[in-house]
């Protein structure tokens, strides 16, 4: 559920500006919003008021508020969606603005990626997929399931969902290219993502796909990718063979 930003009284408590400071007001606003996001006071999913209302609440000019919001967008902490507004998309761990896929990572490291497409269909969005993509339940989505291999060893089983009207995704193209490469080729700019990484034991079917024994450890990842307008364009649920794959995250340390 999307939470609402605090109104004037609590918002003023979150942002304490020093108008006598040589630090520009827009930078002060952005820093304190960033601290509130990192501290959990503005958690992911929080819907923000528009720039005019925020500027009024903080007693700053609209250009000042706009520059602060642009800085937060550039840092990947908020996304804007026309007709819906602005919301917090991530807090402490920040992903690069130019997102990469497993295919991109394997190819750049010389791992000779290959792909087996298990299915590529259009189907009604389930409740979970619809919520992730911001669609109505039952709306048509492209549903893709693949096994990604490197040097003939299976690394991952990947399920991805995209709005059906976003682009055409051919099976032969998925066998030769990464999904994000196809999305970028269609002129869609991937800007930010929310991602959750976990671990569990593989089911019998998953173990067979990954060439592992039943109950072997797998890494899990769920990700929602957004374009530069803040629209969700892809929802992925992947599992990885833990014996052959690991995640590496670069963390940015804030001022503390």
pLDDT in tens, the chain (256 residues): 344 444 434 566 678 888 888 888 888 898 888 888 877 788 877 888 888 888 888 889 999 999 998 888 877 788 877 766 788 874 433 333 345 566 666 666 556 788 999 999 999 999 999 999 999 999 999 999 999 987 778 889 999 999 999 999 999 999 998 899 899 999 998 888 888 888 899 999 999 999 888 888 898 989 999 988 889 999 999 998 887 776 665 554 444 4
- Give pLDDT, residue 214: 86
CA dihedral sign, ordered 248, 250, 251, 253: positive
In a domain, 198, yes or no: yes
Q: Which two tokens stand for residue 20?
A: 């006598």
CA dihedral sign, ordered 38, 40, 43, 44: positive
| 77 and 107 belong to one structural domain | no
| 135 and 236 belong to one structural domain | yes
Domain assignment of residue 133, given as a range: 102-241
Q: What is the CATH number of the domain that holds 228?
A: 3.40.1410.10
| 169 and 129 belong to one structural domain | yes
| 78 and 107 belong to one structural domain | no
In a domain, 249, yes or no: no
Calpha distance 239→256 (Å, rounded): 35
In a domain, 96, yes or no: no
In a domain, 212, yes or no: yes
Calpha distance 33→26 (Å, rounded): 11
In a domain, 248, yes or no: no
| 78 and 204 belong to one structural domain | no
| 141 and 197 belong to one structural domain | yes
Q: What is the CATH number of the domain that holds 37?
A: 1.10.10.10
| 165 and 83 belong to one structural domain | no
| 234 and 114 belong to one structural domain | yes
- Give pLDDT, residue 108: 60
| 47 and 126 belong to one structural domain | no
End-of-domain residue from the set 60, 88, 116: 88
In a domain, 110, yes or no: yes
**What's the number of domains the chain is made of?**
2
With b for 16 or more beta-carbon neighbours within 10 A and e for fewer, the 168-183 pattern comes to ebeeebbeebbbbbbb
- Give pLDDT, residue 246: 65
In a domain, 148, yes or no: yes
In a domain, 1, yes or no: no
End-of-domain residue from the set 88, 114, 131: 88
- Give pLDDT, residue 233: 94
Strand order in the sheet with 47-48: 47-48, 85-88, 78-81
- Give pLDDT, residue 98: 40
Q: Which two tokens stand for residue 198?
A: 């976990």
Burial zone of 122 (CB within 10 Å; 0-12 exposed, 13-18 middle, 19+ buried) = exposed
Q: Are 64 and 211 in contact (CB under 8 A)?
A: no
- Give pLDDT, residue 255: 47
- Give pLDDT, residue 243: 73
| 69 and 173 belong to one structural domain | no
Q: Which two tokens stand for residue 99?
A: 């997102």
| 34 and 147 belong to one structural domain | no
- Give pLDDT, residue 99: 53
End-of-domain residue from the set 57, 88, 119: 88
User: pTM (2 decimals)?
Assistant: 0.58
Q: What is the separation, in whole angstroms, between the first and last Cα of the chain? A: 30
- Give pLDDT, residue 103: 63
| 207 and 110 belong to one structural domain | yes
């Amino acid at each position: 559920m999307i939470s609402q930003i605090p109104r004037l009284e609590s918002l003023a408590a979150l942002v304490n500006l020093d108008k006598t400071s040589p630090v520009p007001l827009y930078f002060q606003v952005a820093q304190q919003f960033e601290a509130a996001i990192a501290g959990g006071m503005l958690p992911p999913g929080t819907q923000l008021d528009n720039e005019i209302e925020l500027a009024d609440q903080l007693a700053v000019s609209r250009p000042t508020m706009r520059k602060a919001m642009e800085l937060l967008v550039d840092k990947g902490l908020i996304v804007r969606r026309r007709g819906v507004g602005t919301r917090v998309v991530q807090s402490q761990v920040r992903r690069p603005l130019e997102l990469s896929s497993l295919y991109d990572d394997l190819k750049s490291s010389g791992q000779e990626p290959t792909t087996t497409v298990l299915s590529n269909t259009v189907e009604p969005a389930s409740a979970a997929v619809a919520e992730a993509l911001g669609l109505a339940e039952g709306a048509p989505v492209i549903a893709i399931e693949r096994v990604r291999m490197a040097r003939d060893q299976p690394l991952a089983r990947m399920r991805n969902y995209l709005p059906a009207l976003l682009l055409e995704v051919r099976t032969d193209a998925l066998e030769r290219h990464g999904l994000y490469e196809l999305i970028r080729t269609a002129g869609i700019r991937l800007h930010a993502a929310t991602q959750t990484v976990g671990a569990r034991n593989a089911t019998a079917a998953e173990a067979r796909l990954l060439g592992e024994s039943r109950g072997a450890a797998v890494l899990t990842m769920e990700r929602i990718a957004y374009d530069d307008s803040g629209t969700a364009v892809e929802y992925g649920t992947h599992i990885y063979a833990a014996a052959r794959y690991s995640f590496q995250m670069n963390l940015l340390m804030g001022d503390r």
